[in-house]
Amino acid sequence: MHRWTKFFVVCEPGTQHMEALLKVVYELYTDYVLKNPFYEMEMPL
């Protein structure tokens, strides 16, 4: 069974740089998960 973590941002239509923002959020998340030896799936951040 695969579990997915999804990130979404609510913003005004036409807001610039949303893709870049989501990339930064994802990079921060993966850094946290990969560098924390005690992290388990479905564990709150």
Output 10-18 pairs: Cβ under 8 A, ≥24 positions apart. none
Enter the pTM of the model: 0.59
pLDDT of residue 2: 61
Q: Which residues contact 7 (CB under 8 A, 6 or more apart)?
A: 22, 25, 26, 29
pLDDT computed for residue 20 by the predictor: 92
Residue 40 has a pLDDT of 75
pLDDT at 8: 80
Positions of the chain with pLDDT lower than 50, given as ranges: none
pLDDT at 24: 93
For residue 40 the two structure tokens come to 């388990």
Segments making up each domain of the chain, as ranges: 1-38
Structure confidence at residue 9 (pLDDT): 84
